[in-house]
Amino acid sequence: MRNTAKLTTAVLAVGALALGLSACGSGTDAASDTSGPLVVAASPTPHAEILTYVKDNLAKKAGLDLEVREFTDYVTPNTATEDGSVGANYFQNQPYLDDFNKKNGTHIVPVVTVHLEPLGLYSRKVKSADALKSGATIAVPNDSVNEARALKLLDANGIITLKDGVGNEATPSDIAQNPRKLKFKELEAAQTPRSLDDVDAAVVNGNYAIEADLKPAEDALVLESPKNNPYGNFLAVKEGQEKDPRVTKLAKLLTSPEVKKFIQDKYAGSVIASF
């Protein structure tokens, strides 16, 4: 049985933290009580699915008591890890974490990189990126790291040209050349696939694409290359918890041959193992 607790984006971080604390069932938090289960916050797809595979098939033999909690936003997993409501999280990449720690004063650190979810451009109105008309509207994620990543994807495929030296905080104002006079609609990342009926195209994170029954390897007009890609998703903890024996066990299991095969078989190129 899956041991998960689903929360929606409408749940405030404070409320989610309170739920996490009460769910621990003791006076100690999930991070400091190393004798209890390792509670991991994760996005539903593919992160929680991968963790559930580990829980159901590998954890018991390794002596790991694993609990998976699903969150559908990109904020609460980090605030819950910082607070100690959960012992670890699995949902993000390094540029996003760097930006989050800087802006929120948190102390989250990566433990092991597990997979890449290629970012893709999708459309229900055109069959190729070349078919995008002048003045077309493209939805992009509105958080700073994923918006920059989306614009870099469009730049890499010749759809726009960014200014030289643009980093991980690029916005549409950093576009140097926009020959098709494209317009950009900034949305919460989870909303981008839902916008496909209202815009000409949308740049969608891999996990949200899969949840929306899109197949990145087949449906994307353009797709990120995994080569030298800095956006691999990793298991993360609050600084100081890296050597928690439960965390080291999970890190080893997440990078095992069994998990690699599970990723290959289940996601068929839409999620790519990074080990």
Looking at residue 145, its pLDDT comes to 84
Alpha carbons 26 and 22: distance in angstroms, whole number = 8
Q: What is the pLDDT of residue 31?
A: 64
Q: What is the pLDDT of residue 268?
A: 83
Tell me how far apart the alpha carbons of residues 89 and 121 are, in angstroms, rounded to a whole number: 27
The reply to whether domains 13-118+230-273 and 120-223 share a CATH topology is yes
How far the first Cα of the chain sits from its last, in Å, is 28
178 C-beta neighbours (distance < 10 Å), count: 14
Question: Going residue by residue through the chain (275 aa), what tens digit of pLDDT does each one get?
Answer: 333 333 333 333 334 333 343 333 333 465 666 779 999 999 999 999 999 999 999 999 999 999 999 999 999 999 999 999 999 999 999 999 999 999 999 999 999 999 998 999 999 999 999 999 999 999 999 988 899 999 999 999 999 999 999 988 899 999 999 999 999 999 999 999 999 999 999 999 988 998 899 998 899 999 998 778 889 999 999 999 999 999 999 999 999 999 999 999 999 888 999 99
Domain borders along the chain are 13-118+230-273, 120-223
Residue 31 contacts residue 108 (beta carbons within 8 Å): no
* pLDDT given for residue 167 in this prediction: 81
Classify domain 13-118+230-273 by CATH number. Answer: 3.40.190.10
- Which of 94, 84, 89, 99 is CA-nearest to residue 27? 84
CATH number for domain 120-223, candidates 2.30.40.10, 3.40.190.10, 1.25.40.10, 3.40.50.920? 3.40.190.10
- Across 3-65, where does the E strand assignment appear? 38-42
Q: Can you name the residues that pair with 186 across neighbouring β-strands? A: 140
- Cβ atoms of 247 and 62 within 8 Å: the answer is no
Whether omega for the bond prior to residue 226 falls within 30 degrees of 0, making it cis, is no
Q: In 231-241, which positions are buried (b, 16+ CB within 10 angstroms) versus exposed (e)?
A: bbbbbbbbeeb
**Bridge partners, residue 34, by sequence:** none
Residue 4 is predicted with a pLDDT of 37
- pLDDT (0 to 100) of residue 32: 63
**Helices 13-24 and 76-83, interaxial angle, to 10°?**
50
Q: Which residue has the tokens 């041991």?
A: 3
